[in-house]
Amino acid sequence: MTPYGFGILGTGMVAEYHRQAVAATPGARLVAVAHPDPARRAELSARFGVPCLSEADLLEHPEIAVVSICTPSGQHAAQTVAAARAGKHVLVEKPMALTLEDADAMIEACRANGVRLGVCLQRRADPVFQTVKRALDAGDLGRLALAVLSVPYHRPQRYYDQAAWRGTWALDGGGVLMNQGIHLVDLLVWFLGDPVRVSARAATLERDVEVEDTLAAVLGFEHGAVATLAATTASEPGFPHRLELYGSGGGVQLLGESAVAWTLAEPRRAQVAPPPLSAGSSAGAGGDPRGIGALGHRRLVADFLAALRDERPFPVDGAEGRRSLEAVLGIYRAAGIGAGVGPEKPAGRPRGA
């Protein structure tokens, strides 16, 4: 069986997750990475163990079938379109784009060139969240009434200062919700559907950035359920995200990637066995972006490769990635921010601790 050759655009922290995921996936092989600065290519080639090329040379490489896009978010759309036109399948990091128009262009470019588009919303590949999804679809929780989502993360000022694109509208596309919270917004959309009513408020309380570091929202869904969402990167030392789902038949409480409570009104009628319960969870990505681990990317890359081989749909394709982006942009509109318009800052300069 001929392995699928992978190329990675970008060489930052998330590119390392993709490198590990490709290395751990049977039938996948990393061929090259790309970086725009020729002066750094020798160093990066040694680090990744493969040639480091220009973007153009990577896209033209005949042994590369799949391109992982791990660059700043504002570059995703143009690079996806270029990769599709070069005949490469694309696995793009979240958010897939910064506007719905760009997301649509990416989807169309991949369709027109006969290649597949996947979006790295890897929590959909986690067994705990997949169990929740099956239980919801089976009706084990009855009619959903309420979801409660909190994302009390910590990202210090040095996190934003280490790269000029971080915390900017042009290349980051937003703050805590677009960069960190979109993974959890994606779970809300997956579990409850697309929100049809939104109210929100955003603020930049602590960090010296263009975008929001704190946001709260209330979402309404088509079948009547309501969700509350609160997210920040100004909560030191950072805490695990929490997602709670309550319906007429019971409730589920998730902390990080663990289920801490799974209580049903009539457990004997349940269609889906609950996952093992945990007493708690470390802060994980809440305290440090490196705390996310590579397991989710490994699952996602393996599933993407299997979808290519089996010629079946990939569960987190461009259309699904677009849904989470649309939800985030809708929350930004409700908060009066986005497209270069940041929230008002309190009097005085943010502390930037």
Domain 4-120 - what CATH class? alpha beta
pLDDT band at 2 (very low <50, low <70, confident <90, very high): confident
More confident residue, 166 or 344: 166
d(CA 337, CA 29): 42
Structural domain boundaries in the chain: 4-120, 126-288+318-335
pLDDT at 293 over 80: no
Dihedral, 184, 190, 192, 197 alpha carbons, nearest 10: 70
Q: Say how far residue 285 (Cα) sits from the centre of its chain.
A: 12
pLDDT band at 349 (very low <50, low <70, confident <90, very high): low
Percentage of the chain beyond pLDDT 70 is: 95
Q: Which whole number is the average pLDDT over 241-264?
A: 97
> H or E stretch including 10?
none
Are 179 and 218 spatial neighbours (Cβ–Cβ below 8 Å)? no
Per the listing, tokens 């805490």 go with 239
The pLDDT, as a whole number, for residue 351 is 56
pLDDT at 25 over 80: yes
The pLDDT, as a whole number, for residue 282 is 67
Q: Which whole number is the average pLDDT over 328-333?
A: 98
The pLDDT, as a whole number, for residue 281 is 66
pLDDT at 292 over 90: no
DSSP, residue by residue, 100-157: HHHHHHHHHHHHHTT--EEEE-GGGGSHHHHHHHHHHHHTTT-SEEEEEEEEE-B--H
Cross-strand bridge partners of residue 146 = 226, 246
Q: Which two tokens stand for residue 234?
A: 């100004």
Spatial neighbors of 139 by CB under 8 A, at least 6 apart, are: 249, 271
Cα-trace Rg, the chain? 20
pLDDT tens for each residue of 59-114: 999 999 999 999 999 999 999 999 999 999 999 999 999 999 999 999 999 999 99
The model scores a pTM over 0.85: yes
pLDDT at 350 over 60: no
pLDDT at 35 over 90: yes
Please state, in angstroms and as integers, the Cα–Cα distance from residue 335 to each residue in 98, 110, 189, 332, following that order.
17, 33, 19, 5
pLDDT tens for each residue of 147-165: 999 999 999 999 999 999 9
pLDDT tens for each residue of 102-141: 999 999 999 999 999 999 999 999 999 999 999 999 999 9
pLDDT tens for each residue of 190-229: 999 999 999 999 999 999 999 999 999 999 999 999 999 9
Cross-strand bridge partners of residue 20 = none
Nearest by Cα to 286 from 243, 327, 325, 328: 243
Nearest by Cα to 48 from 8, 100, 92: 8
The dihedral of CA 167, 173, 175, 176: what is its sign? negative
What's the CATH number for 126-288+318-335? 3.30.360.10
Spatial neighbors of 348 by CB under 8 A, at least 6 apart, are: none
Q: Say how far residue 225 (Cα) sits from the centre of its chain.
A: 23
Of 106-115, 278-287, 337-346, least confident by mean pLDDT is 278-287
Q: Which whole number is the average pLDDT over 282-310?
A: 84
